[in-house]
Amino acid sequence: MPETPPDISVEEPVQIYAFDFDGTITTKDTLALFLQYYQGKFVWGLKVISLLPHFALYGLKVIDRTEVKRRVMRRFFKGHALSEVQARADSFAADIIPPLVRPQAQARLDTLKAQNAALYIVSASIEHYLHPWAAAQGIKTVFATQLETREGRLTGELHGVNVWGEGKTARIRAEMGHTPFEIIEAYGDSEGDKPLLYAAKASFWRPFRL
């Protein structure tokens, strides 16, 4: 009798619904708001003034977006205790972000959650306040910019890629590893979201604005 062929099962790809955060889900850039919330308006203002030469270099295309972000993170967070930053991030997620969420974005998230879809927040903002906000929403997966920590303090450096532009799809691939996946839907509102939108089967540009 012929041998029975082995049972070779093919793993079904994870079907991802990917959302940018700032400007897509929210009405404002939350990273800029968090820096002010964390430091207070006066200190925030002084630090922004000290960063103006770096912003000028970016405007002249001498340095890129990621380098600007590194310099901003160094100025605001270098040497700060992770516990202090996270405590402020937790309160920011609970008190400041909810009123900024676009109603139509919330409705779409709620619909997909009811369908048990795999929701992914893919954002250039920092993970410290996105994780608690997402957890309150019942969203398990956040791929956001990470800040390096040593011995309980932030170094001011980025850990891994800046999750912007090609960094968004690169982060998804890195986190998924050998797990097959396909991006079913992607939602974005800026130049930095275009690689993510191009990678999706269906893409939505600024979809939640009235």
Max Cα-Cα span within the chain: 84
- pLDDT tens across the length of the chain (210 residues): 556 556 555 679 999 999 999 999 999 999 999 999 999 999 999 999 999 999 999 999 999 999 999 999 999 999 999 999 999 999 999 999 999 999 999 999 999 999 999 999 999 999 999 999 999 999 999 999 999 999 999 999 999 999 999 999 999 999 999 999 999 999 999 999 999 999 999 999 999 987
Pairing of strands 153-159, 141-150: antiparallel
Query: What is the CATH code for 14-205?
Result: 3.40.50.1000
d(CA 200, CA 20) in angstroms, rounded, equals 13
For residue 184, report the phi and psi dihedrals to the nearest 5 degrees: -75, -50
| Other CB atoms within 10 Å distance of the CB of residue 69 | 18
Give the pLDDT of residue 2. Answer: 58
Give the pLDDT of residue 210. Answer: 72
The CA angle 16-22-26, to the nearest 5 degrees, is: 95
Helical residues (DSSP H) of 115-193, grouped into ranges = 127-137, 166-176
Residue 153 near residue 81 (C-beta atoms within 8 A): yes
Using alpha carbons, select from 25, 32, 11 the residue that is nearest to residue 139. Answer: 25
Give the pLDDT of residue 25. Answer: 98
DSSP H/E element including 4 = none
Q: Report pLDDT digits (tens) over 61-96.
A: 999 999 999 999 999 999 999 999 999 999 999 999
Residue with tokens 């000290």: 50
The CA angle 29-30-34, to the nearest 5 degrees, is: 135
Give the pLDDT of residue 1. Answer: 53
Domain locations in the chain? 14-205
Cα–chain center distance at 194: 14
